């Protein structure tokens, strides 16, 4: 299973942009990059995913390096409600079960 590496924790001031990095040097050509976040006392929820091109949605943006060995989740204006644990995982676009490890993610603290 392809592994991702994220910093354990990050801090951001409220209303400032946040860049959450993820390294995935062993990514294969068919792996999608997914980001999830887990708010306190809740289950993880989907944030965004991408394959090769940068992606935007109402929650965040995903910037993918040209060699796809790293990606960055961008929260354009952090709010207190964005304080959560953010997980970066790889999901293969092929049939059959693939082991996916969520790891411990990055705990984002937003400072008022």
> Among 4, 12, 22, 34, which residue interacts with other proteins (rule: CB under 8 A)?
34
Of the two residues 29 and 43, which places its CB atom closer to other proteins in the complex?
43
Q: How many Å apart are CA 16 and CA 76, to the nearest integer?
A: 7
How far apart are the C-alpha atoms of 49 and 43, rounded to whole Å? 18
41 contributes a contact to other proteins by CB under 8 A: yes
In angstroms, give the least distance from the CB of 48 to other proteins: 10
Instruction: Take residue 34 and report the two structure tokens written for it.
Output: 């997914």
Output the CA–CA distances (angstroms, integers) from residue 9 to 20, 28, 31, 85, 105, in the order listed: 9, 27, 25, 8, 8
State yes or no: residue 88 binds other proteins (CB under 8 A).
Answer: no
User: Which residue, 105 or 108, is less far from other proteins as judged by CB?
Assistant: 105
Strand order in the sheet with 18-23: 18-23, 70-75, 61-64, 55-56
CB of residue 65 to other proteins, shortest distance in Å: 19
In angstroms, give the least distance from the CB of 63 to other proteins. Answer: 17
Residues of the shown chain interacting with other proteins in the complex, contacts defined by CB under 8 A: 32, 34, 36, 41-46, 49, 51, 87, 89, 91, 93-97, 99, 101-105
């Amino acid at each position: 299973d392809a592994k991702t590496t994220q910093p354990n924790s990050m801090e951001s001031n409220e209303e400032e942009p946040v860049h959450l990095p993820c390294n995935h040097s062993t990514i294969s050509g068919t792996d999608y990059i997914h980001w999830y976040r887990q708010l306190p006392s809740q289950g993880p929820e989907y944030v965004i995913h991408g394959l090769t091109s940068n992606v935007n949605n109402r929650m965040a943006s995903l910037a993918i390096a040209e060699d796809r060995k790293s990606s960055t989740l961008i929260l354009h204006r952090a709010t207190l409600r964005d304080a959560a644990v953010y997980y970066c995982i790889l999901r293969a676009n092929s049939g059959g079960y693939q082991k996916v490890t969520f790891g411990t993610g990055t705990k984002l603290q937003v400072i008022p």
